[in-house]
Structure 1
Amino acid sequence: LEFAISADGDQIKTEKSNTTMLEFVLLGFSDIPHLRWMLFGIFLLIYLAILMCNSIIIVITQTDPALQTPMYFFLNNFSLVEICYVTVTIPRMLMDLCTQKGNISLYACATQMCFVLLLGGTECLLLTAMGYDRYVAICNPLQYPVVMSHKVCMQLVAASWISALPAVIGQTYQIFSLPFCGSHRINHFFCDIPPVLKLACGDTFVNEMAVYVVAVVFVMIPFLLTIASYGKIISSILKLSSARGRAKAFSTCSSHLMVVVLFYGTAGITYLQPKPNQSERIGKLISLFYTVLIPALNPIIYTLRNKDIMVSLRKLLAKVLK
């Protein structure tokens, strides 16, 4: 074994032919230390708001008899995924902002990446299932109770959770099997694929191609299927003779379409653009959108634009305030 001194003076244990790096450092927002307490307060408030709003959605979609439909069953599961998704990244980011220490072990980094990818993939597939649900409801309303039975909904949700698992585990194992022989500083606030791959030495072409393949399967294909569903939906809505019917159909779909565009847009930019073209600062900003800001907006989009949810929420508040 040999010992090499890194640029920042840290001692890293290495082998002559390979590097064993047992710890990384997440730089997070260390380049703007004067804003760390303001960022801590903002992200803490956003995190608590995400937890509270999604928990309320889960409670009302499970307890209100009027919301026992496939659409709200999917929304219930989507809210649960959102809670898990932000919990994988934001608490760690808050701790790093508070302590100004971003040390994270290789295994903790791999675990965080695995869960971020798994939950992100699950969100993509759930959004596709929700798009299919709206397609059947609007384009084939007479067959809707049969096509979207409770059994089918359970199978779609289970498939959303399970389908990404093998690819995510394989992807994570492949990346963390690489030798890391340069800096051990990750210029990001969580262990994401692009910044971790930048630290690997040697040829990472195979890994980058694997990232593209997985991104196409779990981001591009679900997105295209969802857009195709909405193409059919919009075509059917425009054929409705009643203006009120068209307005109601658009209102039930617009919230979901808004979430789809926001989430897929930012995730696609991160995982589908070539590695050399990714600015670390821009990559960090885009990641903030799909890991923090969009999850914060989703409950607002789904509640404020949904009359049934608002009615159920008022009922819940009336019970609580009695």
Structure 2
Amino acid sequence: MSKTTAENYTTPSIFDDFKSLTKVRLALSVVFSSIAGYLLGVEHIDYFHILLLAIGGYAMVGASNTFNQIIEKDLDAKMQRTQNRPIPSGRVSKQNAFILASVMTILGVYLLFIINPITAMFGAISIFLYTSVYTPLKTLTPLSVFAGALPGAIPFMLGWVAASGEFGIEPGILFMIQFFWQFPHFWALGWWLYDDYKKGGFFMLPTGKRDKGTAIQIILYTIWTIIASLIPVLQITGDFMISPISAIIILALGIFMLYRAIQLYKTRETKAAKALMLASVSYISFIQIVYVLDKYIRLWV
């Protein structure tokens, strides 16, 4: 293989840069949450609305992530895991990234507005909070995680709002579940990548350190996440309810996540934080699947 061919082979494509700017894995997980919320809230599935929600949701998240990378260009250049991103590496200019983010914002709001105006409103709020509140606070205070948990909790409930056209107790509990979940998830991530975040000047952990205080808070918020996830079995959350069998499954998933949190408290090792982060991702994905399956199995039966 010639030198030129090798360089062309290893150079990221425009599509690769687009995936990096929009953080494709994160964006797809958000779309997954939104569709799960939609399936929970809808009476008759409208596949056109699902398509609008998927594309519009991806555009909104992609816009937020791109704006975030524009703002954090110089900080990303300092960290090993982010220094090869399109903007700090120089492959994409800040101007072109801004155009992309702006176009995705307009497209996302428009597509969500077609579903209903309140869905578009919440989508626009999520971009504003992520870009204008969470991002600037990341280098100032550990409370940035609290600010980031607000837009981070919107996608799950956004799907229900897209299905029903209104905000009530059902999307409220969906929001609460994903809100509490954000803390053990991002604190585990912050613990795992502590040294790299430190290079960029980011404050992710509640005490600022990988210490007992942070580990205890991770355990407490994991417990709150489990409790919030089980509330629908009490049948006090309107049309959003689950069967006792599904509650047992969710409790088992929660106990596993709590086990990982306790292991982090005991060992305070980086590998334990990574294990908890992966367990948290599995938890939120699986409970959403359980919620949806529970609803449709009960309907079919």
Same fold (TM over 0.5): no
Could you say which structure has the higher strand fraction? 1
Report 1 or 2 for greater relative contact order, CA contacts < 8 Å, sequence distance ≥ 6.
Answer: 1
Q: What TM-score bracket applies, with the shorter chain setting the length?
A: 0.3 to 0.5
- TM, length-normalised to structure 1: 0.34
Query: Which protein is bigger by CA-based radius of gyration?
Result: 1
Could you say which structure has the higher helix fraction? 2
